[in-house]
Amino acid sequence: MSFGDGGPSWGPAGPAGPGNSGTPDWEAMAEASASRARRRKWLMIGGGALATAAVAALVATAVIRANGHDPGATAGKHAGELPTANDLPSETSAPEPSFSSVAPPPPPDPRDYIADARKDRLPVGVEAFFPGDKLVSRGHTYARGATHRTTSCASTTQGALGSILTANGCDQVIRATYSRDGVAVTVGIAVFKTEARAKKTAQQASGGLASLSGSGVPVFCRDGAICRRTANSYGRYAYFTVGGFTNGKNVTKADKNVFTVGDDLTDYTFRQIRHRGEVQASAAANLTTT
């Protein structure tokens, strides 16, 4: 017996005849096997789908019952059985917010409170404008010397400035002297009733402020010495400076240190006057909002 090609086949042989060579029909057998496999596959898919649907139905039923809903109780309801308007909650009785149609007034202008004596009600004096023993302006520190206040405005001036102050109705002049490194500057504030009078005085200024010595500062800018003078105004205040060397040396355009001290004091005085208006405007704004 041989297991090689050409040996006899195992198993009974079928009858010989046309179309039957005695060899199994392998193609037909394969097709039959594939057909059976496909049937099993579809049966398994169909069974799985049915099982899934059954589980989903059970879960839905359990959820509905857990929430207290009975499908039979709600089935068949129609629009006539829905809640009526009387069954709905009524509107709240709480008042609705209301808004004023009147626009709030604009904030007060600080300059208004230093433009006229009728609104400028803060005290006027040395400490109101030049407080303390030192002054710091633009990063520079200056020691305060003598101070002076008088209602005799012309007595604080040199040259024609005195008559100009008097003609425009000057109420008083406040002076203070500051010094640093051999340079001294006297700053003076002339007080008027209105802004217009102060502005006119600064525009007409001629001559100048008289320097104020004392409290450690020697006499300066007197006896014909050439010094630097300035004149400005803000609100109802005209303010002036006179500055030079404490050793009596004449000031030239090259003496930047004298110009620096004068500019620092001019800037400081302006800010003090402006701050006066800001304080009063802020107080007025607080009154209108309370």
User: d(Cα 269, Cα 232) in Å, to the nearest integer?
Assistant: 10
Q: Are residues 127 and 244 in the same domain?
A: yes
- Does any domain span residue 100? no
- Does any domain span residue 66? yes
Q: Are residues 131 and 44 in the same domain?
A: no
Q: Please give the full DSSP string across the chain, using - where no structure is assigned.
A: ---STTPPPSSPPPPPBTTB-SS--HHHHHHHHHHHHHHHHHHHHHHHHHHHHHHHHHHHHHHHHHTT--HHHHTT--GGGSPPGGGSPPPP-SPPP---SSPPPPPPPGGGGTSBTTT--S--SHHHHS-SSEEEETTEEEEEEEEEEES-GGGGEETTHHHHHHHTT--EEEEEEEEETTEEEEEEEEE-SBHHHHHHHHHH--SEEPP--BTTB---S-TT---EEEEEEETTEEEEEEEEETT-PPP-TT-HHHHHHHHHHHHHHHHHHHHHHHHHHHHHHHHHT-
- Does any domain span residue 5? no
User: d(Cα 243, Cα 208) in Å, to the nearest integer?
Assistant: 11
Q: What is the pLDDT of residue 63?
A: 47
pLDDT, the chain, mean: 81
Q: How many domains does the chain have?
A: 2
- Does any domain span residue 251? yes
Q: What is the pLDDT of residue 22?
A: 47
Maximum separation of any 2 CA atoms in the chain, in Å: 160
pTM: 0.65
Q: Are residues 177 and 65 in the same domain?
A: no
Q: What is the pLDDT of residue 87?
A: 63
Could you report the per-residue pLDDT of 101-145, keeping only the tens digit for each? 676 677 889 999 999 999 999 999 999 999 999 999 999 999 999
Q: What is the pLDDT of residue 107?
A: 81
User: Other CB atoms closer than 10 Å to residue 283's CB: what's the count?
Assistant: 13
Query: What does each C-alpha distance from 83 to 2, 68, 73 come to in angstroms?
Result: 94, 19, 16
Q: Are residues 47 and 131 in the same domain?
A: no
234, two tokens: 């803000």
- Does any domain span residue 267? yes
Residues of the chain with pLDDT under 50: 1-22, 26, 55, 59, 62-64, 71, 73-75
Q: Are residues 61 and 116 in the same domain?
A: no
Q: Are residues 176 and 250 in the same domain?
A: yes
Q: Are residues 68 and 119 in the same domain?
A: no
Could you report the per-residue pLDDT of 262-278, keeping only the tens digit for each? 999 999 999 999 999 99
- Which CATH number covers residue 157? 3.40.1000
Burial class (CB in 10 A: 0-12, 13-18, 19+), 28: exposed
Domain residues for the domain of 234 are 110-288
